[in-house]
Chain A
Amino acid sequence: MSVELPENVVVSKLDALASWCRKNSLWPMPFATACCGIELMATGASRHDLARFGAEVMRFSPRQCDLMIVAGRVVMKMLPVLQRIWQQMHEPKWCISMGACASTGGVFDTYCVVQGVDRFIPVDMYVPGCPPRPEQLIQAIIDLQDKIQTEGTTFGREFALQRRQQPKRALVELPIIGQLPTGRELSV
């Protein structure tokens, strides 16, 4: 049995419709702490024009945002602030880790710089580069839109998936140069 559809009517799933709406109107929360923030500003400015992808409404209140862009290194003192802002954002929300420092600590392998924000908050998309060009950030946003479209659901069930939880590497303490790993005794 077939049903005749009138003109200009499309049948879809509610999940796909909700994801389509969400992906085309991302409101970024610019968590810019270093030079990546300058590239983030350039991405939002007229030449690269993030508005083409519906993500130009930078809000400095986490309550109004659904995409956190961590741009720059995060130090020990800043991490509780980052976590608090992440928790203040409403679901559904996504996170882009922009640049080498936010993703891995970059060249700042020092006592005070967190070695990747994904150790402490969930990250959806990583942007390599030091700093990344605006095109790279735009590519990350396009990829994130694909991700939202393909796995997004109306009620956010995908966020409860096991593989979307904390990545495994965050639970492992990397060995520190000049110091024995914890739990191992020096045998003489």
Chain B
Amino acid sequence: MDTVQEITAALAEQFGDLKVSEFRGQTRVVVPRDRLFEVAEALHGRHGFDMLVDITCVDYLNYRDARDRFGLVYLFCQTVDGHRLTLRVFVNEPDLNVPSLVPLWEGANWLEREVYDMFGIRFAGHPDLRRILMPAEFTAHPLRKDYPLQGRGERHNFPVITRSSA
């Protein structure tokens, strides 16, 4: 099979505007949002990346030299040769829609729900985009940098059971 360099070269040839970089043996590809699904489809079908390791997100609010607010991280693995590849997708408010990868990898379901819960990124085409960690009535997205560390008092918002009421 191809090496990671050949795979990224083939990707860059197919989708002209990709930025490929390598750091300490790890390859990452920055993909524009509207091409994410096509690139992922090529990785999944043509290049045999059969495992989606993780989806997560970084909030770059107040980050030095950052130009975009949110940076999504997709980690893929090709289990036959052990290749690993990172995709980065940057999105900005107010349009936080990103195509869902659930049609390609079933495992993306809960990972995307987690990213939605924590950062408020909306995955278009997700079959069941609900909160996965926080309670359903929670309104904020707590891993955003503009959310206070101790919350906005949600953790104290419960009825109190006294001795005589129990």
Interface residues of A (CB under 8 A from B): 76-77, 79-80, 83, 86-87, 91, 93, 109-115, 119-122, 159-160, 164-166, 170-171, 173, 176-179, 182
Residue of A80, A113, A160, A177 near B164 (CB, 8 A) is A160
CB A156 to nearest CB in B, in angstroms, measures: 9
How many chain B residues sit at the interface, stated as a range, is 20 to 34
Number of A-B contacts (CB under 8 A): 86
Per the bound structure, the CA–CA distance linking A119 and B161 in Å amounts to 9
| Distance A164 CA – B161 CA, assembled complex (angstroms) | 12
* B interface residues with partner A (beta carbon < 8 Å): 134-135, 138, 142, 147-156, 158-164, 166
Taking a contact as CB atoms under 8 Å apart, the answer to whether A86 and B151 are in contact is: no
Interchain nearest-CB distance for A32 vs B (Å): 20
CA distance A170 to B48 in the complex (A): 56
Q: What's the least CB distance linking A113 to chain B, in Å?
A: 7
Name the contact of A166 in the complex, choosing from B135, B151, B160 (C-beta under 8 A).
Answer: B160
The reply to whether A111 and B163 form a contact with Cβ atoms under 8 Å apart is no
Q: Is A165 a contact partner of B151 (Cβ separation < 8 A)?
A: no
Judge whether A112 and B150 touch: CB under 8 Å. no
Cβ–Cβ contact B161 & A121, under 8 A: yes
